[in-house]
Structure 1
C-alpha cells in the first residue's frame, strides 16, 4: 500500500497540486489552516466590537453602583435576568452607534467644555469649588488617571451631543398646546347603576364536588417545601483589619506615589472667544481673525479686558464673568490654547489662537508655581486611603479564598471556616417565601432551592448580599412539600367554591343587563326594574379623587357620545360588584382660561415628550443604518 501511495504522489499532476498548496501556505500562513478565529464579542456595531470582558466590566460597575445607591436593598437576582442584561447591552450599543455618528460628523468635545464638566462633579469639589488635589486623590483611590478619566467623561458627553442637538429641534405650536389643555382639563358627566354582590343561589356542596375541587387545586393545599441552611458570611465592614498604620508605612506609600502630591503650575486666565461664522470657509475665517486681532490690539492699548470680553466674546459661559476662566492646570484645555497660555508672562495678552471653537485672545492675570505637598500635609489623606485600601485588600483576599475553598470541597463549609476563622451559621427551616435573617434575602432563597444546592447537595456559588458582602450556603435539612389533609382545608374549599359561584353569578347577571342596554333599553328602565338608584357624577376630571377610579377610567375610555347614540360601558368593581355606566356629556377645557404659568408648564411638558421621542427615533434610525450583531449567549 505504501508503495502504491508513493507512486501516486510522484507524478506530474501530484507535483503541480503540491506546488499550489505550498504557494497557498506561503501567502496565507500555515497556521491559518490549523487555527480558526472564534468570535468572542457580545455585540458588534459596524467594525466596533463590545467584548465579553468590556461588557462584564461595565455591567459589574453598573451593578455595584445600583447596590450602593440602594444600600444593598435591591434584589440582587434582578441583575441576573437576561432582560436586564440585554437592556444594558442595548445602552452600550446605542453608545457605540452615537460615537460612530460623532466621528462621521466630526463632532468633538472642546477641551474647555470637558474641563468645565469635570470641575462641576461634586466629588471633586471642596467648599463648592473644584479642587485639583482632591481630584487627583479621588482618581488615584479608584486606580484611574486624569487622562483616562477625562476620556471616560468625554465619551459620556459625546453620547449626549447628537441626542441633545436633535431634542433641541423639537417644538410645539400654540394649537398643539391648546389641544393638550383641552384634553387634560376635560370634564365628563356620567350616570351609573351599581350592581351589588349577589347572594349565592346555591350553598349546598356535596362531598364529591368538594373532593374534586381538592384534587384539581392540590397545589393550593400543600404544606410548603422547606429547607434549613448552614452558611458562611463575609462582610468587609466586619473584618478585623489593622487600620492604624505607623508613619513608616505611610511614608513608604508617600514616597511610592509622590508624583500624586506634586501640583503643576497653575495659571489664572481670561479670554475672549471669536467664533467663526457660517460653515467656517476662508472668508469667515478671515473675518473672525480680523475681529480677534482688533480685540487683542484694544487690550494691549489699555482697554479693560473684562469689558472687552463682556461686549465681544462668543463664549456665553465666561462672557458674563468678563472672560474669567479661573485657575487652569496643564492638560485641562485645548493644546493650542494651552501652548499659547504657557508662553505668556503675567499681564501679557496673546495673539489670536485658533482652536476648534474659534479664535481666542488670552490674558494671563496671575500664576502659581508648582509645589510638592509635604508628608505632614497629606498624612491624613494617606491614612484614610490606607484604611480603605487595606480593608478592601483583606476582603478581596479572604473572599477570594473563601470562594476557592468552598468550590474545592463542595460538600462542606467546615474547611473554609477553619482556615479563615469564620463561624458556620445556621438558619431555621424556611419555605420559598423566605424566613428570618439571611433567609429573607431573595438571592439566598433562590440559591437554597436551586438544583446544584438542593438536589446535588453542593455549596452555593457566592451570593451578593450587598457591596463587599457575600455568603456561601448549603442545605442541611430538606422537608418536601406534602398535601394538607382534606379535613384540614374543608372549610376553606367550601368558602372558595361558594365565592366562585357568586363571582360567576355576578358576571352572568351583569353581562345580561349590559346586553339589554346595548339592545336599546334605557339605564333608567333597568334601574327601576331592579329597584336601584341611578347615581350621577357631573364635571368629573381625569384625576378625580372622590369617585371610584374604575368608574372614572371607564368614563374616559368611552368615545364622545353622539346625539341619539348613548355610550355605555360595563365596569368591573371590587368585591364581585359591577356597574352599568352611561356617558352623558363631554366638556373640553377652555385653553384661554388658564394662566400663563400653567400654559407654559403644559408647553414644556409637551415639548419634552416630543423631544424625547425625537431623540429615541433618531437613535433608532442610526441603528437601522448600521450593521449590528448581538450575541446574547455571551452576555
Structure 2
C-alpha cells in the first residue's frame, strides 16, 4: 500500500491533488490554513491600490489591495484617553459601566476609522505638511506658553507629564498626522456654500416674528368614581410605572485619615527632614540661559549627526572668539521659540524640565561662558550662560512649624494608605472575613440599607458607592470591594449583604395612586378634547374670544414671538412655528400640551418674515456663520461617507 502511494505521488494524481490544494491556500493563506487566523487588530481598512483605483474587491484582484490596521494597542490607548477626558469633564456623574458598553466602545473605534480614512485620502492626494507648519501649530498651543510666548522648557515638561509620556518627536508626528488628514476634509468643507438667496430665505425664516392669541385650558379636577375593573386594568397596562426600585443592604468599613490617631513626630526627624529638603525652604539658584540649536533627528545617520555637531562647534568657536551670541542665534538657530529673541530661554533652575544633558551643561558653566556642543533629542546646542542668581535658604527655626505640619500630614497620609493596603491584603486572604479585618485594625463595620438605586443618603448617595454597590460582581459574589474614594483621604470598602431586584408593586399597595393617575388621565384627555374642539372651531372661522368666554377663559396676546424665544415653553414655540402662516380667508391655529398637563390653544394673528437688512449686524453675521458651518459639517460628513464606500472595513468585535 505504501509503495503504491509513493508511486502515485509522482504522477498525474499528485498533480491533481496539488492543484486542488492551491485553491484553499490561495483563498485563505498558508498560515491561516495551517494554524488558523490570528486577528491581532481592532479594525482593518482595505483600499484599492493607488495605481488601480477602480480595482474590484473580489479575489484574486483583492490580493493587490492595501491594508491599513488600527492595532489593539492604539485602540485601547484611545479608549483610556477618552475615559480620562470624560471623567475629568463629568466628575461624579461619570458612569464607567455605561462607558464600557460595546456601543460606546464601537463609537470610539468608528471615530478612529474615520480619522484613518482621512489620513489615507490625504496621502493619496499627496498632501504634505511642512515642518514650519507643525512648529507654528505647536507654538499656538496655550499649554506650551509662558506669558503668551512659546516656551521650549514648558513644552518638554508638559509632554513628559502626559499619560503615557510623549517625546517631542512623537508629539510632532501625531500633530503632523492630524494636520494632514484634516487638510483634505477641510478643503472639502470649504467647497460647501450657501447661496445668497438660500441664506436670505433661511434668515427670513429664522428671524420671522409671529403675533399669536393664546387660550390656556386647565385640567378640571376629576372626582367621578373609578370602578374596580378600571383600576385593575390600568394597573396591568401601566405595570412599568408601579415598580419598587432595586435595593441593596450594605456593610461597609469607613476609613478617613482625619479620624486616625495622629502620628508622633520628634525633633530629630524634623531636623533630618529639613536637611534632606533644604531647597524647598528658599529659592533655588537661577541661571539665565541662551542657546543656539542645530536640529537633527535622533535617528539620523552618522554623517548628518556629524555635520550638525561640526556646525555647532564652529558656532561655539565664533562665540568664544567674541562674536555676538544673539546675532549668531538669530541667524543660525533652529529653535523657533527662541530664535527671534537671540536664543534667550530666560531663567532656569535644576529640575525645571530641560533635557538632562542640557541642564547639566548649564550648571557646569561659569557666568558669560559658552559651552561646547551639547547633544539632546532635539539636536546639538551651543549654550551661553548669562547671569547667575544665588539661591536663598531659611533657617530651621524659621520653618520648623511648617515642617512639623508637613510631617504630621505626611505621616497621616502614610498611615491612611497603609491602613487601606492592609485591609485589602486581609480581605484577599480571607474574602469572608469582613468583620475580622475591620476589628484587626480597630475599625467597625457599619450597615446601611435598604438603599434604592439612584437614592440613599450620606455615604450611600455617593455615585462611586452606588456604582460599586449595584455592580454585578458585588451583588452576585457578596465579596468586598476595593477602597472607594468618597472624599479627600476618605475611602470605604463595602459588601452587599442583601439585594432586592426591581419588582412590581401589588395593586393593594398602590391602589390610591392608581386612582389618582386614572383621574389625572381623564382630566388630561378632557382638556385635550376641549383644545382640539376649540382649534377646529377656530379654524372654521369662529371667534376665539367667544369660544374662550363660553368656558370662562381669557385670551392672552403674545406679540413678536420668534423661534429662539420660549413662549411660554420651547415646545409651545415649536408648535407655533409648525403651523402654516395664515392665508387670505383662512385661520391658522393649533394646540400644545404644557408641562403641568394643561393645554394651550393658539391662533396666528400675523406672521412677519424678517428683512435681512433690518436684522442687527451681529445677529446676521452669527446666523450666516451658523449656516456656513452647518453646510461645511454636512459636506465633511458626506465626504467621509464616500471614503467608506470605496473601502472594505472590518471591525473585530471581540477586541472591543
Q: TM above 0.5, one fold?
A: yes
1:403-442 paired onto structure 2 within 5 Å: 427-442=448-463
**Displacement of 1:371 after TM fit?**
6.0
Whole-angstrom CA distance in 1 between matches of 2:389 and 2:258: 28
Partner of 2:378: none
Change (3 A) 1:50 1:197: same
Whole-angstrom CA distance in 1 between matches of 2:574 and 2:416: 55
Partner of 2:622: 601
1:366-394 C-alpha deviation (Å, 9 max, x unpaired) = 799966244999999xxxxxxxxxxxxx9
What residue ranges of structure 1 are gaps of 5+ in the alignment? 251-262, 268-327, 354-361, 381-393
1:179-202 C-alpha deviation (Å, 9 max, x unpaired) = 3432232111222333232242x5
Whole-angstrom CA distance in 2 between matches of 1:490 and 1:183: 50
Measured on the aligned residues, the alpha-carbon RMSD in Å equals: 5.5
Partner of 1:12: 8
Whole-angstrom CA distance in 2 between matches of 1:68 and 1:192: 46
Is 1:49 aligned to 2:45, yes or no? no
What residue ranges of structure 2 are gaps of 5+ in the alignment? 47-66, 264-269, 278-287, 333-338, 346-356, 365-387, 393-414
**Displacement of 1:97 after TM fit?**
0.8
Whole-angstrom CA distance in 2 between matches of 1:419 and 1:7: 79
Equivalent residues of 1:180, 1:602 under 8 A apart: no
Whole-angstrom CA distance in 1 between matches of 2:102 and 2:390: 46
TM-score, normalising length from structure 2?
A: 0.65
Change (3 A) 1:398 1:626: farther
Partner of 1:140: 160
**Displacement of 1:56 after TM fit?**
1.3
**Displacement of 1:233 after TM fit?**
8.8
- For residue 652 of structure 2, the aligned residue among 625, 631, 634 is 631
Indicate the larger mover: 364-373 or 451-460: 364-373
Equivalent residues of 1:68, 1:467 under 8 A apart: no
- For residue 561 of structure 1, the aligned residue among 582, 589, 600 is 582
Aligned residues: 541
Partner of 2:377: none
Equivalent residues of 1:177, 1:599 under 8 A apart: no
Change (3 A) 1:479 1:197: closer
Is 1:498 aligned to 2:463, yes or no? no
- For residue 570 of structure 1, the aligned residue among 585, 591, 599 is 591
- For residue 591 of structure 1, the aligned residue among 612, 628, 631 is 612
Partner of 2:211: 189
**Displacement of 1:96 after TM fit?**
0.5
Indicate the larger mover: 128-137 or 339-348: 339-348
What SS does the corresponding residue of 1:205 show, helix, strand or coil? coil
- For residue 159 of structure 1, the aligned residue among 178, 181, 184 is 181
What SS does the corresponding residue of 1:92 show, helix, strand or coil? helix
TM-score, normalising length from structure 1?
A: 0.67
Whole-angstrom CA distance in 1 between matches of 2:528 and 2:213: 20
Whole-angstrom CA distance in 1 between matches of 2:257 and 2:35: 45
What SS does the corresponding residue of 1:563 show, helix, strand or coil? coil
Whole-angstrom CA distance in 1 between matches of 2:540 and 2:275: 94
Whole-angstrom CA distance in 2 between matches of 1:17 and 1:58: 55
Partner of 1:203: 224
Change (3 A) 1:190 1:603: same
Partner of 1:618: 639
**Displacement of 1:136 after TM fit?**
2.9
Change (3 A) 1:145 1:427: farther
1:526-560 C-alpha deviation (Å, 9 max, x unpaired) = 44544544443333222345645444322211122
Change (3 A) 1:331 1:443: farther
Partner of 1:579: 600
Equivalent residues of 1:112, 1:332 under 8 A apart: no
Equivalent residues of 2:120, 2:181 under 8 A apart: no
